[in-house]
Amino acid sequence: MKKPDFETSLKELEEIVEKLETNDKGMTILQIIEEKINDKYSDQKIFDDEDTWAEFTAEATDTKNYEIVFVFSAENNQSMRYEWNVNLESGEISSTDGPSRIILQTVDHYD
């Protein structure tokens, strides 16, 4: 995030994460991603593996829009990458690729 004030940046990141909770039943984008990871690595304790890492970034594209990127990497550099654009003013979240769009649709239609 490119902001001069760390506290302001942290507050804006918290707002963005709240926007990622789009389902009124409490399901979040991050929970759907966790399910996908667990499905892909069902025979492993992938979150306990020391070669596993995740990165979550939010970068301001202007004063009200952020690009959100989530990357999950496991053994042999197999990674999952998701990207969204979040408008803090309107609360709109849009995806920039197919897998990210599927995550949004899953959250939107989750019962």
pLDDT of residue 1: 34
Q: What is the pLDDT of residues 46-64, one digit of tens each?
A: 778 788 888 888 888 988 8
Higher pLDDT among residues 94 and 110, named by residue = 94
| Alpha carbon distances (Å) from 63 to 3, 10, 16 | 10, 15, 13
Banded pLDDT at 3 (limits 50, 70, 90): very low
Q: What is the pLDDT of residue 45?
A: 82
Instruction: Answer whether 0.85 is exceeded by the pTM.
Output: no
Q: Is residue 37 part of a domain?
A: yes
The answer to whether residue 79 sits within a structural domain is yes
**Domains in the chain: how many in total?**
1
Asked if residue 11 belongs to a domain, the reply is yes
Examine residue 50 and state whether it is found in any structural domain, yes or no. yes
C-alpha dist (Å) from residue 22 to 17, 34, 42, 49, 108: 10, 16, 26, 30, 7
The answer to whether residue 34 is domain-embedded is: yes
The answer as to whether 91 is a domain residue is yes
Domain that holds residue 22: 6-108
1 within domain boundaries: no
Find residue 80's DSSP bridge partners: 72
Instruction: For residue 28, tell me if it sits in a domain.
Output: yes
**28: CB partners within 8 A, 6+ apart:** 20, 21, 22, 107
**Of the candidates 43, 17, 36, the residue with the CA atom closest to the CA atom of residue 28:** 17
